[in-house]
């Protein structure tokens, strides 16, 4: 069976119907060596969409995923990487969905992943239309 790909909303991105997320595995149970094996198995079966979050293993999951992808030598443009922002840390501005935390949390995630960009950033909580409108306008 071949992997099927679908459009991710109206973004223009084509993502595999299955993705791999690092929630309970990277950092808590698996190191880089094991992560590389898992990620390569996913790619071998057509997965191109890999998910993470700033809070997974206190950021260690992003570090492991980024290092594994680098060591595997994958072309960045061949994969879709997402992360989620909300639970960044213990400081008063280190969590939530303020403009400040979205920008700083994204920069911190990019540093941990050792990537120039992520393809999708999710808010790790529900946010209504008005918040996004306000964020985009300001």
What structural domains does the chain harbor?
A: 5-137 (3.20.20.100)
Question: Is position 122 annotated as part of the catalytic site?
Answer: no
Which residue in the list 5, 20, 56, 117 is annotated as catalytic?
A: 56
pLDDT, tens digit only, all 138 positions of the chain: 799 999 998 889 999 999 999 987 888 788 999 999 999 999 999 999 999 999 988 999 999 999 999 999 999 999 999 999 988 778 888 888 888 999 999 999 999 999 999 999 988 676 665 455 444 444
First-to-last CA distance in the chain? 47
Task: Supply the DSSP symbol for 93.
Answer: T
Q: What does the chain come to in residues?
A: 138
Question: Burial code of 72-82, b = ≥16 C-beta within 10 A, e = fewer?
Answer: eebeeeebbbb
65 contact partners, CB below 8 Å, separation of at least 6 = 22, 26, 35, 39, 50, 52, 81, 113
């Amino acid at each position: 069976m071949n992997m099927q790909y679908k459009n991710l909303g109206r973004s223009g991105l084509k993502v595999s119907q299955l993705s791999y997320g690092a929630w309970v595995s990277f950092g808590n149970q698996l190191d880089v060596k094991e992560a590389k094996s898992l990620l390569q198995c996913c790619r071998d079966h057509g997965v191109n969409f890999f998910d993470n979050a700033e809070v997974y293993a206190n950021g260690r999951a992003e570090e492991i995923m980024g290092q594994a992808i680098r060591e595997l030598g994958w072309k960045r443009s061949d994969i879709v990487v997402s992360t989620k922002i909300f639970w960044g840390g213990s400081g008063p501005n280190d969590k939530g969905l303020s403009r400040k935390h979205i920008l700083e949390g994204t920069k911190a995630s990019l540093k941990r992943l050792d990537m120039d960009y992520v393809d999708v950033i999710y808010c790790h909580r529900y946010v209504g239309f008005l918040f996004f409108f306000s964020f985009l306008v300001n």
